[in-house]
C-alpha cells in the first residue's frame, strides 16, 4: 500500500485510530498533524464518462443508471480537451473540417492513425487554418480538399510543405458544375476528363491528362466564350458553369497541386495518397457516427464530444487523472477571456481554444443559443 504522507510537512504518517464515522485517522510522525484520507474517484468517473461518449452504450446501461450517471459526470462537460503540440514531423498530414452547424466548424489535422490537432472556428479561413497548423510540425506533404483560406495559411505556416489536392474532391467540384448527365457535348467531355483524373497513376498518364485538358479547352474556346443577354440587359457568359469547371481544374494544374503524389522526388520514399480518404473515413466518419449515436446533444456538447474523440485518438493522450489536472475548463477559459481588453475580444484569438469571437458567442448570457445551428 502506498505510504501516506503529511500534507503540511511531507513526513510519513501512521494510523491513529478511527473517526466517529468509522474512517481511519492518520497522524504525522513529525509535526503531529492529523487527517483523514479521502478517496478521489474523479478519474474513474471520467473513464466511465468517456466509455459512454465514445461508444454506443446507453446511459441507462452505465453504472448507477441514467439519472445517477448524468449527475456524477455532468462536470466533465465543462472540460475542453486541448490538442498537443506535435513536434515530430510526419511524412503526410491530412486536413479537413467537420461542420456541426451553419456557423460552427472544427478543423482537424491527422496522420494515418492519429488526430494531431483540432481547432474551433466560425468558418474555414486562413486565420483558422494557420492556428491549427501552427501546433503541428510541418510535414513533407499535406492533403486537403481545398477549403477556403487553406492555400494562404499553407504559404505562411508550412512554406516548405508540398500540397496535394484531393483528386476526388477535384472531380466532385467539376461534377457540381456539369452534373453527372451533362446536356452539352462540351460538358460531357469535361465530365469524362474529370472522371479520368481518378485513374491517373503515372507521370506519363498525368502529362497525357493535362494535354487532353488543354486540347478540350482549345476545341471549345469559342463555345465557352459565347454570351447571353438577360431580360434586364445584363450580358453574361452563356456557359458560365462550364467556364467555372474548367477554371477549377486549370487553377490546380497551374498551382502544381494536382499530381504531387506522382512527384519522383517524393515517391522514392514510398507511395503517396492522392485523396484525403484517410481523414474522411478514419476521422470524419467516426465523428459523425458518434454524434448520431448521441443525437440530441446541444451544439456546445457536440463540439466538446468532437474534442474528446480527437484527444483520445491523439498520439499520446494523458490518463484520466492527468486530464483532470491540466485541461482547461469553461471557467478557466472564461477567466482568460475576461482579461482580454475590448479590442482583443473583437479582433484577437485564443489560438489554443479557437477564435475568441466564437468563445464569446458560444458562452452568452442568454439561456438559448440558436444561431450556431
Share of the chain above pLDDT 70, in %: 88
Asked if pLDDT for residue 291 goes beyond 90, the answer is: yes
User: For residues 19 and 13, what is the distance between their CA atoms, to the nearest angstrom?
Assistant: 16
| Contact between 194 and 170 (Cβ < 8 Å) | yes
Report CA dihedral (64, 66, 68, 72) to the nearest 10 degrees. Answer: 100
Local confidence band at 249 (pLDDT 50, 70, 90 cut-offs): very high
Q: What backbone phi and psi angles, to 5 degrees, belong to 94?
A: -105, 135
CA–CA distance, 233 with 221 (Å, rounded to integer): 24
**pLDDT, mean over the chain:** 86
Residue 270 exposed, middle or buried by CB count within 10 Å (0-12, 13-18, 19+): exposed
Q: Are 175 and 196 in contact (CB under 8 A)?
A: no
**How far apart are alpha carbons 139 and 242 in whole angstroms?**
35
Cell, residue 96:
479537413
> What is the Cα–Cα distance from 358 to 351, expressed in whole angstroms?
11
Give pLDDT, residue 104. Answer: 86
Residue corresponding to grid cell 507511395:
271
Looking at residue 34, its pLDDT comes to 81
End-to-end CA distance of the chain: 52
In whole angstroms, what is the distance from residue 164 CA to residue 282 CA? Answer: 18
pLDDT of residue 66: 83
Residue scoring higher pLDDT (360 or 118): 118
3-state SS of the chain: helix, strand, coil percent to 5?
45, 15, 35
Query: CA-based Rg of the chain, rounded to a whole angstrom?
Result: 27
- d(CA 179, CA 96) in angstroms, rounded, equals 24
How high is the pLDDT of residue 366? 47
Measured distance CA(248)–CA(241) in Å, rounded: 11
Rounded Cα distance, 357 and 348, in Å:
8
Three-state DSSP at 194 gives helix
Query: Distance (Å, rounded) from C-alpha 289 to C-alpha 293?
Result: 6
Of 259, 264, 239, nearest to 249 by C-alpha is 259
Q: How far apart are CA 68 and CA 78, in angstroms?
A: 18
pLDDT in the model for residue 302 = 93
Find out whether 98 and 287 touch, Cβ atoms under 8 Å. yes
Question: Where residue 139 falls among pLDDT bands split at 50, 70, 90?
Answer: very high
Q: Identify the pLDDT of residue 340.
A: 62
Domain ranges of the chain: 1-38, 167-274
**183 confidence band (pLDDT: 50, 70, 90):** very high
% of the chain surpassing 90 pLDDT: 58
Q: Which residue has the higher pLDDT, 8 or 217?
A: 217
Q: How confident is the model at residue 213 (pLDDT cuts 50, 70, 90)?
A: very high
Q: How far is the C-alpha of 357 from the C-alpha of 349, rounded, in Å?
A: 7
Q: What is the pLDDT of residue 41?
A: 82
More confident residue, 243 or 343: 243
Q: Are 355 and 344 in contact (CB under 8 A)?
A: no
User: pLDDT tens across 61-99, in order?
Assistant: 887 778 899 999 999 999 999 998 999 999 999 999 999
60: pLDDT strictly greater than 80: yes
**Gap between the Cα atoms of 261 and 91, Å rounded:** 12
Asked whether the predicted pLDDT for residue 325 surpasses 70, the reply is yes
**187 in Cβ contact with 163 (< 8 Å):** no
Question: Ranked by mean pLDDT, which of 3-17, 28-42, 265-279, 336-350 comes out on top?
Answer: 265-279
Binning pLDDT at 50, 70 and 90, where does residue 343 land? low
DSSP 165: E
Amino acid at each position: 500500500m502506498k505510504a501516506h504522507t503529511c500534507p503540511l510537512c511531507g513526513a510519513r504518517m501512521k494510523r491513529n485510530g478511527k473517526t466517529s464515522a468509522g474512517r481511519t485517522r492518520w497522524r504525522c510522525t513529525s509535526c503531529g498533524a492529523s487527517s483523514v484520507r479521502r478517496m478521489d474517484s474523479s478519474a474513474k468517473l471520467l473513464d466511465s464518462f468517456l466509455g459512454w461518449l465514445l461508444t454506443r452504450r446507453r446511459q441507462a446501461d452505465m453504472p448507477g443508471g441514467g439519472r445517477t450517471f448524468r449527475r456524477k459526470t455532468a462536470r466533465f462537460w465543462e472540460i475542453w480537451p486541448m490538442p498537443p503540440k506535435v513536434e515530430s514531423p510526419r511524412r503526410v498530414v491530412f486536413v479537413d473540417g467537420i461542420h456541426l452547424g451553419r456557423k460552427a466548424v472544427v478543423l482537424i489535422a491527422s496522420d494515418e492513425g492519429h488526430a494531431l490537432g483540432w481547432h474551433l472556428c466560425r468558418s474555414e479561413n486562413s486565420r483558422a487554418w494557420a492556428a491549427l497548423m501552427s501546433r503541428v510540425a510541418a510535414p513533407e506533404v499535406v492533403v486537403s480538399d481545398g477549403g477556403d483560406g487553406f492555400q494562404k495559411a499553407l504559404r505562411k505556416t508550412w512554406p516548405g510543405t508540398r500540397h496535394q489536392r484531393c483528386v476526388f474532391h477535384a472531380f466532385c467540384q467539376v461534377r457540381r458544375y456539369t452534373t453527372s448527365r451533362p446536356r452539352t457535348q462540351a460538358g460531357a467531355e469535361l465530365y469524362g476528363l474529370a472522371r479520368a483524373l481518378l485513374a491517373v497513376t503515372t507521370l506519363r498518364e498525368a502529362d497525357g491528362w493535362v494535354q487532353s485538358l488543354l486540347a478540350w479547352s482549345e476545341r471549345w474556346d469559342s463555345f465557352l466564350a459565347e454570351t447571353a443577354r438577360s431580360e434586364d440587359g445584363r450580358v453574361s457568359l452563356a456557359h458560365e458553369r462550364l467556364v467555372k469547371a474548367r477554371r477549377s481544374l486549370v487553377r490546380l494544374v497551374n498551382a502544381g497541386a494536382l499530381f504531387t503524389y506522382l512527384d519522383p522526388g517524393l515517391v522514392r520514399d514510398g507511395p503517396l495518397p492522392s485523396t484525403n480518404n484517410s481523414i474522411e473515413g478514419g476521422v470524419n466518419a467516426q465523428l459523425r457516427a458518434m454524434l448520431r449515436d448521441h443525437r440530441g446533444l446541444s451544439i456546445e456538447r457536440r463540439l466538446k464530444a468532437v474534442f474528446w474523440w480527437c484527444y483520445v485518438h491523439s498520439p499520446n493522450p494523458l490518463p484520466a487523472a492527468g486530464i483532470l489536472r491540466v485541461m482547461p475548463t469553461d471557467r478557466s477559459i472564461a477567466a482568460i477571456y475576461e482579461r482580454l481588453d475590448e479590442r482583443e475580444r473583437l479582433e484577437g484569438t485564443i489560438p489554443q481554444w479557437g477564435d475568441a469571437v466564437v468563445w464569446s458567442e458560444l458562452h452568452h448570457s442568454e439561456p438559448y443559443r440558436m444561431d450556431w445551428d
